[in-house]
């Protein structure tokens, strides 16, 4: 077995991994970096130049895992592409939106290579995607491949509990088992149910490390954190504030909408009814969650978010005039407040107003505008947009723990349960990866723990 980390740096970026097992060559995910542009937003595909790819397996439809799929399919036209049906549904919407974003960036930042693919190409390649159910063993050679061939490579999707359609991927070949966690959550969320992962012996575990540098707070429970968010909303409303909650359009938006629905139905007088605003892309993903409510494992299966929460929808123009009035909640993407996104534009309107609030509810890279704002000192300054002057921070800022990623404690526990021969650590900032490496090395002395250098070929 050979492995190459195609993510350009040790970070959460354009996640993609090359795996060679015997005569089979495949890619696990092919993401687009959420902050970089042009060639630097792509996986490091030059590291596998001259090699053919038999199959591309997509764990889920977040931008950093599926965002460059049309580019990769163009470079490897013979590769078969596999994902769940929900991931295909979401992925098509996301990639079409990405074309629009890149087309706008071509003018705004002068990136001449954009768009990296077109709407027509997206439609064309999506027709070649193969939808696979979870817990069904499938040959990467295609449905007609001889299943009893001793060196055949098969895969099986397992529900990852991260976002709608997300999976871990179990590969079997040459009497070896390789399991790629993708992005996973071992705890129930408000909508998504906890992951159901294989418990059999794994030879090689390729594992995410997103929360490796954050210990689970003592006494933390999701129900308790939801109560804390409800109380913070009440406090904000009492002082006449509106509240911005920066979120990812896929996953976090739907989880927060479900929480707000529950708050409205509880006996808290201040939260009985209040306007909620989301963006257009978020509404498209929310529609997919609603359509698949009874087709997938989830909590609150009868909840139809667009009908029962009835959020107002904002776009690039209307967000600039949306009212900064009391008792309004703006659940806007992007979660990292990337410049020019709805959350960034809206934040710049209220950041210097002590009446209003920004609530952070999930992951944000420390170098992103959201990370810089979240970690800034009170009354400090931050430049949310490099094209705009820094602003004084006077708004109220609070943080809540609603991550869609597994805690580092549950990741270590899972690794101990499957006791792999080798553990390959991916999808984490350097400090997160280092904590996981040190802890797993101590807890599993018989397992080799590897932090793969980007672009370097490893023998597994």
Q: In this structure, what is the dihedral angle of CA atoms 102, 107, 110, 112, given to the nearest 10 degrees?
A: 60
The model's pTM is: 0.95
Q: Which two tokens stand for residue 318?
A: 């209307």
> In terms of DSSP bridges, do strands 167-173 and 154-159 run parallel, antiparallel, or are they unpaired?
antiparallel
Buried b (16+ CB within 10 A) or exposed e, 281-309: bbbbbbebbbebbeebebeeeebbbbeeb
List the pLDDT tens digit at each of the 460 positions of the chain: 999 999 999 988 899 999 999 899 999 999 999 889 999 999 999 999 999 999 999 999 999 999 999 999 999 999 999 999 999 999 999 999 999 999 999 998 899 999 999 999 999 999 999 999 999 999 998 654 445 555 689 999 999 999 999 999 999 998 899 999 999 999 999 999 999 999 999 999 999 999 999 998 888 999 999 999 999 999 999 999 999 999 999 999 999 999 999 999 986 777 888 999 999 999 999 999 999 999 999 999 999 999 999 999 999 999 999 999 999 999 999 999 999 999 999 999 999 999 999 999 988 888 899 999 999 988 899 999 998 999 999 999 999 999 999 999 999 999 999 999 999 999 999 999 999 999 999 999 999 999 999 999 999 9
376/395 Cα distance (integer angstroms): 12
Quickly list H helices, 137-251: 222-238
For 34-163, strand residue ranges (E) read: 55-57, 80-83, 129-131, 138-139, 154-159
Q: Which two tokens stand for residue 314?
A: 């904002």
Q: Which two tokens stand for residue 394?
A: 């006077």
Which positions ≥6 away from 28 have C-beta within 8 Å? 16, 17, 19, 57, 59, 169, 180, 182, 206
- Length, in residues, of the chain: 460
Where do the domains of the chain lie, and which CATH numbers do they carry?
A: 2-214+404-459 (3.60.15.10), 222-399 (3.40.50.10890)
One-character DSSP codes across 345-366: HHHHHHTT-TT-EEEE-S---T
């Amino acid at each position: 077995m050979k492995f190459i980390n195609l993510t350009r740096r040790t970070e959460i970026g354009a996640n993609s991994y090359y795996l060679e097992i015997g005569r089979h060559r495949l890619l696990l995910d092919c993401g687009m970096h959420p902050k970089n542009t042009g060639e630097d937003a792509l996986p490091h595909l030059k590291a596998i130049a001259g090699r053919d790819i038999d199959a591309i397996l997509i764990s889920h439809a977040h931008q950093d895992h599926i965002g460059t799929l049309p580019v990769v399919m163009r470079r490897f036209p013979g590769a078969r592409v596999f994902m769940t049906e929900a991931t295909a549904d979401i992925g098509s919407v996301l990639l079409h939106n990405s074309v629009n974003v890149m087309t706008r960036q071509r003018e705004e930042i002068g990136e001449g290579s954009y768009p990296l693919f077109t709407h027509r190409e997206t439609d064309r390649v999506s027709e070649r995607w193969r939808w696979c159910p979870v817990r069904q063993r499938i040959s990467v050679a295609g449905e007609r491949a001889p299943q009893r061939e001793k060196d055949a490579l098969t895969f099986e999707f397992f529900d990852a509990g991260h976002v709608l359609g997300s999976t871990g991927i179990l590969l079997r070949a040459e009497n070896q088992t390789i399991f790629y966690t993708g992005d996973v959550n071992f705890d129930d969320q408000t909508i998504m149910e906890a992951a159901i992962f294989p418990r059999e012996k794994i030879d090689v575990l390729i594992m995410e490390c997103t929360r490796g540098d954050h210990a689970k707070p003592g006494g933390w429970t999701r129900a308790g954190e939801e109560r804390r968010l409800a109380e913070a909303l009440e406090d904000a409303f009492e002082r006449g504030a509106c509240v911005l909650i920066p979120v990812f359009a896929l996953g976090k938006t739907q989880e927060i909408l479900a929480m707000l629905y529950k708050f409205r139905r509880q006996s808290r007088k201040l939260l009985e009814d209040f306007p909620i605003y989301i963006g257009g892309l978020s509404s498209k993903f929310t529609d997919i969650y609603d359509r698949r409510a009874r087709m997938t494992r989830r909590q609150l299966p009868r909840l139809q978010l667009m009908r029962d929460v009835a959020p107002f929808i904002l776009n690039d123009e209307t967000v600039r005039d949306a009212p900064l009035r009391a008792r309004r909640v703006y659940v806007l993407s992007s979660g990292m407040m990337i410049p020019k996104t709805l959350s960034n534009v809206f934040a710049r309107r209220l950041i210097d107003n002590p009446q209003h609030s920004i609530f952070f509810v999930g992951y944000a890279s420390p170098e992103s505008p959201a990370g810089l704002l979240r970690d800034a000192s009170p009354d400090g300054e931050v430049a949310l947009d490099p094209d705009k002057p820094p602003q004084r921070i006077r708004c109220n800022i609070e943080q809540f723990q609603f991550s869609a990623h597994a805690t580092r404690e549950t990741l270590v526990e899972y690794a101990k349960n499957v006791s792999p021969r080798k553990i390959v650590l991916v999808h984490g900032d350097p400090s997160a990866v280092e904590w996981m490496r040190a802890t797993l090395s101590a807890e599993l002395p018989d397992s080799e723990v590897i932090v793969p250098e980007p672009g370097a070929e490893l023998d597994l």
